[in-house]
Amino acid sequence: MAVAESVEQRADSFVRSPHRLLIDGEWVEAASGQTFETINPATEEVLAEVAHGQAEDIERAVRAARKAFADDSPWRRMNASDRGRLIWRVAELIEEHADEFAMLESLDNGKPYHIAKAADVALAADLFRYMAGWPTKIEGTTVPISALPAPGEYLAYTLREPVGVVGQIIPWNFPLLMAAWKLGPVLACGCTVVLKPAEQTPLSALRLGELLQEAGLPDGVVNIVTGFGDAGAALAAHDDVDKVAFTGSTEVGKLIVQAAAGNLKKVTLELGGKSPNVVFADADPESAIIGAANGIFFNHGQCCNAGSRLYVQKPIFDDIVAGVADQAKQIKVAPGTDPEAQMGPLISDEQFEKVLGYLDSGRGDGAEAVVGGSRHGDRGYFVQPTVLTHTNPSMKVEREEIFGPVVCAIPFDSPEEIVPVANDTNYGLAAGVFTRDISKAHRTAKRLRAGTVWINTYHVFDAAMPFGGYKESGWGREMGHQVLNNYLETKSVVTAL
């Protein structure tokens, strides 16, 4: 009788296998034959070699996606119920391989295994399961019209149709989950796609590609091209791509918009943030401390919606800051494969140096670290959970997105003054409010210019809740029924009777 493989063995077997591009249902080498290394951020050692896709590979993938979107293709002929069942099967397969996915995320991204399994993998499966219900509910409407100045009797209705070939570019902070956020709705709407994962974390997307094939997805519906920014730029600029969806930094998002201008392809963007987390004097201290710590330290602070500006009303400022600092001191910083790890390394040497640069800048400008403030250990891209005080809006640490476990704690006087201060940013992705006063909570939430506002909690997500930002935090929404608008066209049909 064969002995079942452990999760470590299954993950190791996949890591050691060849990592090619998925194009038109086949796993193929990059046209150039080149590969690149993906690094384990906890050890700074090479984890795997991955096919280095470039513009020629994007061209091949787009052609495959266009062929799969043809009117007579198996995908376009598939009815809505069957499409929903296929998406549901993807959710089941993710759950069946949950341990393996969590280990891949831990090795490739650095996040703790148990957190990856409970959050990233579980939410990815739930997203596909939620989207599986939508194909049979994408409906048009009948419209009563008068047709003046051409009187008569008419039948008028609308159709909702897939936008076509979609280019999707995802980041490295939630590799599997971001792939799910993108692929779930695009499949529900009946589009075809070329997915470009982040070069730092390609492994879980490639494993997901294998499961999509196992689920029975027709060839060419989902194509996966691993590579760097040049591949993403080629995808965004390609004239046979009808829509591009990007999650990442605001700076790159602006480049995506420029690249998409050639054929005026539709664009949705989920970008950066510098989110305010507001704690009023009447807040429950324990929940505020836990919420503030979770708001910044979850996923090593590598969250676009991290509560990185912590505003605390002066009567409780010292107590809340001390409590958050105590939470930071208790966090076990270790490789994600350590069973006791609560925070892993940052994703890369580049991000590690960037965050340390912000800490140096903050110190130089007069900020004080109540806790943390430097690297953790001498191997791997680990940074201490950090709470800064004595910052001001002129400092980069308070104004710019750090994307690391660093929070600026800022006192304020009256409830009336805080909303304009919280809104004084180019971003508008998320915000938090902590108070026992239900009226104050909802008044504040209404006035905050952010796509998501959490009250007496932070970092709560659901596949049914739309997520996205105001201002330079992006265009459009992920998740919920609103995400379907990203991938559908509306057609009006008018018939004289």
Q: Specify whether 303 is catalytic.
A: no
Q: Compute the CA torsion angle 216, 233, 161, 177 (nearest 10 deg).
A: 50
- Give the span between the Cα atoms of 369 and 362, in whole angstroms: 9
| 401 CB burial (10 A radius; 0-12, 13-18, 19+) | buried
**Residues 38 and 50 sit within 8 Å (Cβ to Cβ):** yes
Structure tokens at 347: 């994703």
* DSSP classification of residue 326: H
CA dist., res. 339 & res. 345, Å (int): 15
Centre a 10 Å sphere on the Cβ of residue 178 and count the other Cβ atoms it contains. 27
Query: 3: Cβ–Cβ under 8 A, 6 or more apart, which residues?
Result: none
Strands 368-371 and 386-389: antiparallel
**Whole-number Å distance between alpha carbons of 481 and 33:** 41
Q: Which of 189, 191, 303, 304 is catalytic?
A: 304
User: Around Cβ 399, how many Cβ atoms within 10 Å?
Assistant: 16
Catalytic member of 100, 105, 270, 472: 270
Residue 344 corresponds to which tokens in the numbers above? Answer: 């892993």
413: amino acid identity, one letter: D
* Amino acid at residue number 18: P
CA dihedral for 274, 104, 25, 31, sign (positive or negative): positive
Reply yes or no on whether 304 is catalytic: yes
DSSP H helical segments within 171-272, as ranges? 175-188, 203-215, 229-237, 250-260
- Those residues whose C-beta lies under 8 Å from the C-beta of residue 34, and which sit 6 or more positions away, are 51, 52, 54
Q: Indicate the SS3 state at residue 26.
A: strand
Asked if 167 and 193 touch (Cβ cutoff 8 Å), the reply is yes
For 266, other C-beta atoms within 10 Å of its C-beta total 18
DSSP letter string, 435-449: -S-HHHHHHHHHHS-
Strand-strand pairing, 276-279 and 488-496: unpaired
List the catalytic residues: 270, 304
